[in-house]
Structure 1
Amino acid sequence: MTDSIAAGRPAATVHGQSRLRAYARLGKLDVYDYYLGIFLALTAALFPAGAFTARQALVMAMFLAGEVAVLMAMVALDDVTGFRDGSDLANYAPDNPLRNKARKPLVAGALTVPQALRFAWACAAAGAVLWAGAAALAPHHPLWALVTASALFVLSLQYSYGLKISYHGFQEVFLVALGAVLVIVPYGLVTGGFSGFLMVQAVLFGFGPLMFGVYSNTNDVAGDRAVGRPTVAALVSERGNAVFIGALSVAELLIGAVASATGVAPWWFVLLMLPATALRARQYLTGFVRGDIMTARRTGFAVHRLSVVLMTVANVVVGTGAAR
């Protein structure tokens, strides 16, 4: 299906879906998991009590709003590319009952490619303005934070569009880096630095989207192979992919364990994270022992959200000195 055909198709509604809802789905507003990183940055910067200012709070809020806009642009451009190359048409075809076509407004016919592109670039512009405003207002301007935020802005828009980073074998690394940056940059803007413990949390936070992303890739392997999108799942055998995802699950545990053992994180941090570790093991068993990949993917969201809650608790405990 070509862009010209898509552009000529009416896009007012599909099955009663409003245009506004179609744009919300294009921007994946229901998948809010990347936005949760602001809680880690906030609770790490919040203490000592009374030292956190209204100005710092406004910087955090502006960064979060800009983050939402930038990520909506990124996923909208991803949908445009997926529609143009046919991978979304294959992965969300009628013979794939595990995928809800309504989540892809271009595939469903709710929006046209030009509409999606206008939405994406409008979101990108809004994100740029909000992030620039947050940086200007911030009490600190560490060069590493400004450079990292700028690089993230540019690379996010090139994830599946333009340079198409995810089509050159860097998808998994990018997902972790994206999550980590969204934690450390707002913290850097309001405090001027970052700690080893926060960096550990940032990497673990990035693992969350990675660990539901790799299950999505496992389900979408046929479509990705057809268009040459080199995810690990598309490049290796079924068994190799299972080993890779198992290794990622173990690596996630080891990051927390090593941090606790070396003093980068509190000694009890690895114990605090055990509920998330247990749920991660369940995710793997569901996907690769029981063979239910999409249920395992959904479990990944639960693991990520639980991890954010546990790490937020860790920041509060450390900040208040309750563990002394």
Structure 2
Amino acid sequence: MSVASTVPSSDVRGRLRAYVKLGKLSFYDYYLSAFLVWSALPGPLVWEGRTAGVLLLYTAGYVGVVAATVALDDVTGIRDGSDARNYTPETGALRDLSRKPLLSGALTVRQAELFGWGAAVWGALLWSVTLTVAPHAAPWTAVAMLLVLVTNVQYSYGLKISYRGGQELILLTPGLAVLLPYALLTGEVTGLIVLETVLFGLWSLLVSVYSNMNDVAGDRLAGRRNLATMSSEAGYRRIVVALHLLEPAAVAVAVAAGAVPGWFALLVLPLLAGRAAQLRAGVLRRDVLVARLLGIRLHRWGVPVLLLANVWAVHV
């Protein structure tokens, strides 16, 4: 569908809904990290007012960072034609086409660009305030937050990092939404938090790798260089299997190193069983969008599992 063939909606509510879809504001998975951080904090910090303030500010800023990333990604996707090729009526049952307001013509490219840069400024301002009020704003946390902001906004726009072989690295950064707020509040990083940073980042990646598997033809035509486009079909399936194996490996290493108790591995077994079903759907049956949906569900189911683990490990 051509952007020029449709007229943007002049209805205020319709326009607001389009911006919500453009910023993927209903996709709340990344922001669940705040609950993991809160549940893992030492007892005295849990109910402090400053704790709530830092978590709210960081998360609200992160909403802006993510909204900027996906909005500007859609701008590039509409310009190079990759979104029109990757989002088709045939995939509508498994991939919500209404999440692409530039494809439908609900918004113009210019409106999307302004929204994206406005969201980036929002994220930068709120993260600056976060660093000001956080009790342990070490220089490395400020540098890490700046890098997340800059690299995410440049994901498919400007430097186009995802077009130059850096896509998978950027897709791991949601894990830092666990590590950074925890460090800002406590001034330290525990083994438990390192493991949950790795798991949270992997959960994000184990959704996106299946999107990339589905989009490989369109991404190649657009010139995007990621693991999917640079590998053969068989080679990429092996990469996906390896990424799946990283999750139990991370848990096993954390248990062996004494970073988490042995019961942690038992607690996450149902999630690992779900990963086996996801792998079977995506790699063996080639139902990649079904596997993508399973990845989203496992991400959401994994958060209460880690909440229980944190309460048990830290507060019991």
Q: What TM-score, normalized to structure 2? A: 0.94
- The residue number in structure 2 matching 1:210 is 205
Deviations 1:274-306 (A, max 9, x none): 111000010011112222111111000111112
**Which one of the candidate residues 64, 74, 84 is aligned to 2:79?**
84
Q: CA RMSD in A?
A: 2.0
Quick one: distance in 1 between partners of 2:281 and 2:201?
A: 22
Q: Check 1:96–1:23 CA distance in 2 against 1; reply closer, same or farther (3 A cut).
A: same
Report the residue type matching 2:18 in the other structure.
Answer: A
Name the SS of the counterpart of 1:291 in structure 2. coil
Quick one: distance in 1 between partners of 2:228 and 2:153?
A: 23
Name the SS of the counterpart of 2:43 in structure 1. coil
Deviations 1:199-220 (A, max 9, x none): 1110110001100100001111
User: Residues 275-286 of structure 1 correspond to what in structure 2 (within 5 A)?
Assistant: 275-286=270-281
- Count of matched residue pairs: 315
**Which one of the candidate residues 9, 12, 19 is aligned to 1:12?**
9
Q: Check 1:41–1:255 CA distance in 2 against 1; reply closer, same or farther (3 A cut).
A: same
Name the SS of the counterpart of 1:18 in structure 2. helix
**2:132 matched to 1:126?**
no
- The residue number in structure 2 matching 1:73 is 68
> Contact (CA 8 Å) 1:59, 1:190: kept in 2 or not?
yes
**2:284 matched to 1:292?**
no
Quick one: distance in 1 between partners of 2:89 and 2:267?
A: 43
- The residue number in structure 1 matching 2:178 is 183
- The residue number in structure 2 matching 1:250 is 245
Name the SS of the counterpart of 1:139 in structure 2. coil
Name the SS of the counterpart of 2:225 in structure 1. coil
> Contact (CA 8 Å) 1:69, 1:124: kept in 2 or not?
yes
- The residue number in structure 1 matching 2:23 is 27
**Which one of the candidate residues 303, 307, 311 is aligned to 2:302?**
307
- The residue number in structure 2 matching 1:103 is 99
CA drift of 1:231 comes to 2.1
Report the residue type matching 1:173 in the other structure.
Answer: L
> Contact (CA 8 Å) 1:212, 1:301: kept in 2 or not?
yes
CA drift of 1:39 comes to 1.4
Quick one: distance in 1 between partners of 2:246 and 2:170?
A: 17
> Contact (CA 8 Å) 2:6, 2:104: kept in 1 or not?
no
**2:244 matched to 1:233?**
no
Name the SS of the counterpart of 2:281 in structure 1. helix
CA drift of 1:258 comes to 1.2
> Contact (CA 8 Å) 1:9, 1:112: kept in 2 or not?
no
- The residue number in structure 2 matching 1:158 is 154
Q: Check 1:291–1:79 CA distance in 2 against 1; reply closer, same or farther (3 A cut).
A: same
Quick one: distance in 1 between partners of 2:49 and 2:66?
A: 26
Quick one: distance in 1 between partners of 2:43 and 2:96?
A: 46
Where in structure 2 are there 5+ consecutive unaligned residues? none
Q: Check 1:282–1:96 CA distance in 2 against 1; reply closer, same or farther (3 A cut).
A: closer
> Contact (CA 8 Å) 1:208, 1:300: kept in 2 or not?
yes
Deviations 1:123-161 (A, max 9, x none): 111111111111111112111111101111111111111
Where in structure 1 are there 5+ consecutive unaligned residues? none
User: Residues 34-49 of structure 1 correspond to what in structure 2 (within 5 A)?
Assistant: 34-45=30-41, 47-49=42-44
Q: Check 1:51–1:224 CA distance in 2 against 1; reply closer, same or farther (3 A cut).
A: closer
> Contact (CA 8 Å) 2:39, 2:46: kept in 1 or not?
no
Quick one: distance in 1 between partners of 2:47 and 2:91?
A: 50
Name the SS of the counterpart of 2:184 in structure 1. helix
> Contact (CA 8 Å) 1:56, 1:139: kept in 2 or not?
no
> Contact (CA 8 Å) 2:141, 2:180: kept in 1 or not?
yes
- The residue number in structure 1 matching 2:219 is 224
> Contact (CA 8 Å) 1:200, 1:256: kept in 2 or not?
yes
Report the residue type matching 2:7 in the other structure.
Answer: P
